[in-house]
Structure 1
Amino acid sequence: MMNRLDTLFKNTCKVMEVLLILIFALLVLDVLWQVFSRYLLNRSFSWTEEFARFSLIWLAILGAAYLSAKREHLSMDFLYQKFSSAKKKKVLLLIEVCVFLFALIVMVIGGFNLVYTTLDLEQLSGTLRIPLGYVYSIFPFSGLLMMCFSIYHIAKINSNQITE
């Protein structure tokens, strides 16, 4: 069973890497086009600023989920390093439960509420005229990914495959 989960985990991370690279590449191209058009063509396109903002939102939120998968999120481990192995395991479990609860309450429930509200009110972005609910949909999506990654890490901790 763990081999299937490991394969699914690795494949999901690979897809996320490709998606993050694609979003970043689009962001770079967008900003380069913005600079080129403004300074060389003496014409500014209003959609480039909004597209850059939306792609940065997606990059940051999806990147947070990716870092959660890789267990590379920001942490201060000075006190953690002083614990015994048994306490470290308990702390790791507590951290994963907290991440799971945060992802559930803030990102999934709050994110679905935000998406539903903006779609229900038919809010559109200023320049691109796309429904803002589509932009905000990255919140519940990334929250669901973080929850899955937390469950995966909890299973790995309980099988003693993750120690730190």
Structure 2
Amino acid sequence: MNKIVSVIDYLLKYMLIFLIIAIVLAVLWQVLSRYLLTSPSSGSEEIARFLLIWISLLGAAYSYRIKLHLGLDIVVKKMSDKQQQFATMFCHFMVLLFSLLVLLVGGSNLVLITFNPVQISPALGFHIGYVYTVLPLTGFLMSVYALNELMLSVKSKSSVQENL
């Protein structure tokens, strides 16, 4: 599982780098075309909006993986070690449940809905369903990451019990 996760980490990191470069270029073109050419580009604003959606969701998955996602652990820090371990496993299980049900299943349904009847973006003529494919993709990634964290938690729990 660790090998799969490290490959996903590598791909996701470079995909995020590419998307950030793309959004910077799209916004730069929008500004240049508006102020220097006095003819604003109609598609660059929409491209930037779609890229921001992808960066936000994929960035959330990546930040969850590297443990930089927002979290409040004030109550958890006051618990005993056993309770902290249970709280950690519970949180990862809830992330897994949310990722599977809301992002993967719900996102897949949303993508299917936007393809039949087809919803088209106004400026680019792009299928909105392609933009929404980031939802099931993020659900899959976060599910893999949550499963990995649960497996690591179970391993650490069993190793702690063996040492007692």
Into which bin does the TM-score normalised by the smaller protein fall?
over 0.9
**Aligned residues with identical type, % of pairs:** 35
Matched, 1:20 2:16: yes
- Name the structure 1 match of 2:36: 40
Whether the 8 Å contact between 2:5 and 2:144 is mirrored in structure 1 is: no
Which digits, 9 at most, give the CA deviation of each residue in 1:77-133, with x for residues without a partner? 111111111111100110011101111121111101110000011111111111110
- Name the structure 1 match of 2:84: 88
Stretches of structure 2 that go unaligned for 5 or more consecutive residues are none
1:68 Cα offset (Å): 1.8
TM-score, normalised via structure 2 length: 0.93
Stretches of structure 1 that go unaligned for 5 or more consecutive residues are none
- Name the structure 1 match of 2:67: 71
Using the TM superposition, name which of 103-112 and 131-140 deviates more. Answer: 103-112
Provide the aligned C-alpha RMSD in A: 1.3
Matches of 2:83 and 2:49 in 1, distance apart?
A: 42
**What amino acid sits opposite 1:25 in the alignment?**
I
- Name the structure 1 match of 2:120: 124
TM-score, normalised via structure 1 length: 0.93
- Name the structure 1 match of 2:45: 49
Structure 1 segments of 4+ aligned residues over 2 angstroms from their partners: none
Matches of 1:83 and 1:10 in 2, distance apart?
A: 32
**What amino acid sits opposite 1:37 in the alignment?**
S
